[in-house]
């Protein structure tokens, strides 16, 4: 069965710290890996990583895909209290029926204290 595992499940840091969130996956027919940020409402898109784009960066956030190790990391530098959220990792895969699906991990709850 396809699965996505994130670690740690929760993390508490102080403003200014750098954090690394981990995501590993076991899926058949991998297509892409996506990171989302979820505050109190719906997930908002951060990055999509594919075989042709294994590293992305946006401001203080960056992400790398390691297809050999079947994993990805999300780095946040100089954290701010506004970074407090649940960070979700999701993998797009092809089902046995030939359709597509998105499998999410449980998320990492990040708390940034002032």
Partner 1 sequence: DTGVSQDPRHKITKRGQNVTFRCDPISEHNRLYWYRQTLGQGPEFLTYFQNEAQLEKSRLLSDRFSAERPKGSFSTLEIQRTEQGDSAMYLCASSLGGWNEQFFGPGTRLTVL
Q: Return residues touching partner 1 (CB under 8 A).
A: 4, 31-32, 34, 36, 41-45, 48, 88, 90, 92, 95, 97, 99-107
Return the residue matching tokens 């102080």: 14
**Smallest gap, in angstroms, from Cβ of residue 31 to partner 1?**
5
Instruction: Give the nearest distance from C-beta 114 to partner 1 in angstroms.
Output: 26
CB of residue 98 to partner 1, shortest distance in Å: 9
CA dihedral over 50, 80, 21, 38, signed as positive or negative: negative
3-class secondary-structure state, position 94:
strand
Task: Pick the closer one to partner 1 by CB: 43 or 76.
Answer: 43
Buried b / exposed e across 76-92, counting CB within 10 Å, b at 16+? beebeeebbbbbbbbbb
Nearer residue to partner 1 within complex by CB, 70 or 104: 104
């Amino acid at each position: 069965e396809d699965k996505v595992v994130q670690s740690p499940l929760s993390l508490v840091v102080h403003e200014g710290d750098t954090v690394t969130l981990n995501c590993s996956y076991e899926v058949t027919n991998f297509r892409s890996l996506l990171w989302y940020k979820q505050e109190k409402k719906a997930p908002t898109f951060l990055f999509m990583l594919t075989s042709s784009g294994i590293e992305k960066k946006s401001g203080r956030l960056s992400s790398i895909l390691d297809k050999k190790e079947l994993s990805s990391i999300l780095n946040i530098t100089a954290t701010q209290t506004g970074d407090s959220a649940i960070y979700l990792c999701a993998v797009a895969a092809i089902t046995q029926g030939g359709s597509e699906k998105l499998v999410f991990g449980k998320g990492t709850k990040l708390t940034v204290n002032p």
